[in-house]
């Protein structure tokens, strides 16, 4: 089943034509326990497209 989570990181392993195909995602704050905006967050699920998953 295709998700409705958009991804604009072109070199992410899970990016399939702008849609995240990861089974689940994990988003974390940058540095502290909370964020004020999306700029203070990052996707922990990111894996570079050429990364060997085996």
Predicted pLDDT at 2:
64
In whole angstroms, what is the distance from residue 49 CA to residue 34 CA?
Answer: 29
- Spans of all domains in the chain: 1-54
Q: What is the pTM of this model?
A: 0.78
Per-residue pLDDT tens over the stretch 1-54: 567 999 999 999 999 999 999 999 999 999 889 999 999 999 999 999 987 766
On the 0-12 / 13-18 / 19+ scale of CB atoms within 10 A, 54 is: exposed
């Amino acid at each position: 089943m295709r998700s409705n989570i958009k991804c604009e990181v072109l070199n992410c392993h899970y990016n399939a034509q702008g849609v995240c195909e990861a089974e689940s995602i994990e988003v974390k704050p940058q540095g502290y326990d909370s964020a004020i905006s999306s700029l203070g967050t990052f996707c922990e699920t990111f894996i570079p497209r050429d990364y060997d998953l085996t």
